[in-house]
Amino acid sequence: MSRKNIETRTRILNAAWKLLEADEGSGVRMSDIAKTARISRQAVYLHFPNRTELLIATTRYLDEVKNVDARLAASRNAATGLERLEAFVEAWGNYIPEVYGVAKALLVMKDTDEAAKLAWADRMAAVRAGCKAAVDALKNDGLLTTEHSVKEATDILWSLLSVQTWEQLTRECGWSQRRYVNAMKKLSNKMLVARPAAQ
Amino acid sequence: MSRKNIETRTRILNAAWKLLEADEGSGVRMSDIAKTARISRQAVYLHFPNRTELLIATTRYLDEVKNVDARLAASRNAATGLERLEAFVEAWGNYIPEVYGVAKALLVMKDTDEAAKLAWADRMAAVRAGCKAAVDALKNDGLLTTEHSVKEATDILWSLLSVQTWEQLTRECGWSQRRYVNAMKKLSNKMLVARPAAQ
DNA sequence: ATGTCAATTGACGCGGTGTCAAGTAATTTG
DNA sequence: CAAATTACTTGACACCGCGTCAATTGACAT
């Protein structure tokens, strides 16, 4: 409610953000966050009911600060389906590393916590909507491969652009961000665009 | 060592297997495994030093029983690069659901436990070797796309065939196993095979 | 029958989450 | 100015799951 209250709340969110980004989602405890926010551990619970909800709030906060929706929506302005696909791949692909730490924390929680699972599904639904819009635009231009339905093509693009795939390629395989984005552009084209228009 | 000892050990492994398969890796506790193996919780530690090692042993046990290596190696017999790629995709793609529950447990541990991370990396290295062999075979036939190096093509195939991607498509998107394998065959072809020879 | 080995039982420590009660310090409000 | 409200602190504690330990039992082998 009050000014001070909301200020402390955002201090907690910033602390969680910072720590999750540094540790890439692994072992961040409530006490760590409290300490970073210069607050007692118990006081965190005055602002968030539990760890999961704090993580969820942190991702929402991040999305808000980073203005995801606007950045993803920018691809709408593309003139053609091909351009739209490419713009979306670029926008989302470059967004991932900016939120990876926090996203990873939620991704880990997702496997054991129902609320985290829902929150993750919700955010990913937004990404999926972007994927579908790109596929629709392709189809509209008559450039969608005939081998897959719109739903299937959307699923494929969504999987290609999953955080896990990003993680595997950049972390496990050592790809640079640049290389990742370039490859995703090429691959999404190859996978979804009807043959004559490939490239 | 003794007969009884080894028998109990495999009873524990089977219990872990069964439970992980049922719960798909989420909330299986040491006490659950002990109970299923009709043994006291503490007795489990007479056979495995800790939870992580038990999980690792379970995956090894599973791989042994299911004879992964042989099944994956079968694709070596393919005459052409294209056939080899397809055979590998089919072999690995159909193996995933058989071990998913156990693999998922390890996948979750991987984020917080160093030993689990190494064990997972080790198993995935085997898969990667299969991917590389398929890519090499393609290259040998002059059918590897010129847009990617062997290393990059291997990374791409490896990511396409990751357990996480399988999980996303079959669990999140509701794909059947059949559909998954078919799509992976098509997609791996489109992504890696030089244009004129596509399908 | 004696010794060895597998397993049992009960207890305990540890780390992390979440809760509760009592108290304090600052700010607001009558 | 006094009283009430609000944000926060401190210390204690319960719960859960992992891992450990010590003392005991029961089986089997030589």
Residues A39 and A124 in one domain: no
B55 in any annotated domain: no
Distance in angstroms (rounded) separating the CA atoms of residues A156 and A163: 14
Mutate to test the interface with B, among A109, A114, A159, A191 (most CBs of B within 10 A): A159
Q: Mean pLDDT over all residues of chain A?
A: 94
The upper half-sphere exposure of residue B87, i.e. CA atoms within 13 Å in the direction of its Cβ, equals 20
Burial of A177 (0-12, 13-18, 19+ CB in 10 A): middle
B53 in any annotated domain: no
Burial of B90 (0-12, 13-18, 19+ CB in 10 A): middle
Residues A25 and A118 in one domain: no
- Min Cα separation B79/chain A (Å): 26
CB contact under 8 A, B187 and A111: no
B187 in any annotated domain: yes
Distance in angstroms (rounded) separating the CA atoms of residues B103 and B116: 11
What digits encode the pLDDT tens for the residues B54-96?
A: 999 999 999 999 999 999 998 999 999 999 999 999 999 999 9
B54 in any annotated domain: no
Cβ-based contacts of A159 with chain B (< 8 Å)? 165, 168-169, 173
pLDDT of residue A12: 97
Burial of A32 (0-12, 13-18, 19+ CB in 10 A): middle
Residues B106 and B149 in one domain: yes
Return the percentage of chain B with pLDDT > 90, whole number.
90
At B198, the pLDDT band (50, 70, 90 cuts) reads very low
Distance in angstroms (rounded) separating the CA atoms of residues A33 and A18: 9
Residues A40 and A73 in one domain: no
Burial of B116 (0-12, 13-18, 19+ CB in 10 A): buried
More confident residue, B187 or B6: B187
Residue A116 CA distance to nucleotide C25 C1' (Å)? 37
At A1, the pLDDT band (50, 70, 90 cuts) reads low
What digits encode the pLDDT tens for the residues A82-111?
A: 999 999 999 999 999 999 999 999 999 999
- CA angle (A192 as vertex; A188, A193 as ends), nearest 5: 105
B30 in any annotated domain: yes
pLDDT of residue B145: 97
pLDDT of residue B2: 75
Residues A69 and A31 sit within 8 Å (Cβ to Cβ): no
What digits encode the pLDDT tens for the residues B137-156?
A: 999 999 999 999 999 999 99
What digits encode the pLDDT tens for the residues A145-165?
A: 999 999 999 999 999 999 999
Sign of torsion over alpha carbons A54, A57, A63, A67: negative
pLDDT of residue B25: 73
At B197, the pLDDT band (50, 70, 90 cuts) reads very low
Residues A103 and A44 in one domain: no
C-beta neighbour count of B193 within 10 angstroms = 21
Residues A183 and A121 in one domain: yes
Q: Which of A63-72, A129-138, B19-28, B178-187 has the lowest mean pLDDT?
A: B19-28
More confident residue, A61 or B4: A61
Distance in angstroms (rounded) separating the CA atoms of residues B186 and A68: 33
A53 in any annotated domain: no
B56 in any annotated domain: no
Q: Which of A67, A61, A66, A65 is nearest to A48 (CA)?
A: A61
pLDDT of residue A199: 43
Structure tokens at A124: 């990913």
pLDDT of residue B63: 95
Question: Is residue A198 pLDDT above 60, yes or no?
Answer: no
Cβ-based contacts of A190 with chain B (< 8 Å)? 190-191
Domain containing residue B32 = 3-48
Residues A81 and A27 in one domain: no
Question: Is residue B199 pLDDT above 50, yes or no?
Answer: no
Question: Is residue B179 pLDDT above 60, yes or no?
Answer: yes
Distance in angstroms (rounded) separating the CA atoms of residues B123 and B103: 10
What is this model's ipTM? 0.93
Q: Tell me the DSSP string of A116-143.
A: HHHHHHHHHHHHHHHHHHHHHHHHHTT-
Distance in angstroms (rounded) separating the CA atoms of residues B59 and B99: 8
Average pLDDT over residues B123-147: 97
pLDDT of residue A4: 78
Residues A42 and A70 in one domain: no
Instruction: Give the nearest chain B residue to A148 (CA atoms).
Output: B183
Q: What CATH number has the domain bearing residue B153?
A: 1.10.357.10
Q: Which of A104, A147, A159 lies nearest to residue B168, judging by beta carbons?
A: A159
Residues A74 and A43 in one domain: no
Q: What CATH number has the domain bearing residue B22?
A: 1.10.10.60
More confident residue, B132 or A198: B132
Task: Provide the b/e sequence for A104-121 (b: ≥16 CB within 10 Å).
Answer: bbbbbbbbebeebeebbe
pLDDT of residue A34: 97
pLDDT of residue A140: 96
Residues recorded for chain A: 199
At A26, the pLDDT band (50, 70, 90 cuts) reads confident
CB contact under 8 A, A183 and B148: yes
Residues B116 and B149 in one domain: yes
B58 in any annotated domain: no
Residues A76 and A105 in one domain: yes
Distance in angstroms (rounded) separating the CA atoms of residues A81 and A55: 36
Residues B71 and B141 in one domain: yes
Task: Provide the b/e sequence for A73-93 (b: ≥16 CB within 10 Å).
Answer: eebeebeebbebbbbbbbbbb
Structure tokens at A76: 């709408």
Structural domains counted in chain B: 2
Q: Which of B26, B156, B162 lies nearest to residue A187, judging by beta carbons?
A: B156
pLDDT of residue A197: 44
Average pLDDT over residues A189-193: 97
CB contact under 8 A, B175 and A155: yes
Return the percentage of chain B with pLDDT > 70, whole number.
97
Q: Which of A104, A111, A152 lies nearest to residue B108, judging by beta carbons?
A: A111
Beta strands in B31-72 (DSSP E): none
